[in-house]
A = this chain, B = another copy of it.
Amino acid sequence: MYEKKIPKDFSCGISITLEIMGGKWKPCLIDSINKGMHRPSELAKHHPNASKRVLSLQLKELEAYGVIRKVIHPVLPPKVEYFLTEVGESLLPLVDMMENWGSEFMSEFNNRQENIHVGVTKM
């Protein structure tokens, strides 16, 4: 395993949340699992920009922190499903807020760009 050398800073709640949610795809994964995508292949198809490897790693981390629960069906070809735990569900408001804020910011941002192109400047 990879051993970290820079000590983590857990002085404030924000750092903790960032430790658990900070990965590039973790909030997206929580969101997707909540929306019904449980199998790794589904998640991978829904996030084509994410490498399979990272998704796998981040799922493992989320599981290690008790955010999701892994169910291995003993069949072949393999079938695995991930579900949110209570801890994971308690993160949903945060994930939703991230999604909403980002969407609003994006549309605001696009509006600004349009206005600049048309030569209009807001006061």
A101 within 8 A of B: yes
Most B C-beta atoms less than 10 A away, residue of A10, A12, A20, A106: A12
* B94, A13: Cβ atoms closer than 8 Å: no
Please give the count of copies of this chain that the complex contains: 2
Main secondary structure of the interface of A (DSSP, over half): helix
In the complex, are the beta carbons of B27 and A18 less than 8 A apart? yes
Chain B residue at smallest Cβ distance from A103: B13
Size of the chain A interface, CB-CB below 8 angstroms: 35
Could you tell me if B99 and A12 are in contact, using CB atoms closer than 8 angstroms? yes
A71 at the interface (CB under 8 A from B): no
Q: Does A37 contact B (CB under 8 A)?
A: no
User: Footprint of B on A, CB under 8 Å?
Assistant: 9-18, 20-22, 24, 27-28, 31, 49-50, 87, 90-91, 93-95, 97-106
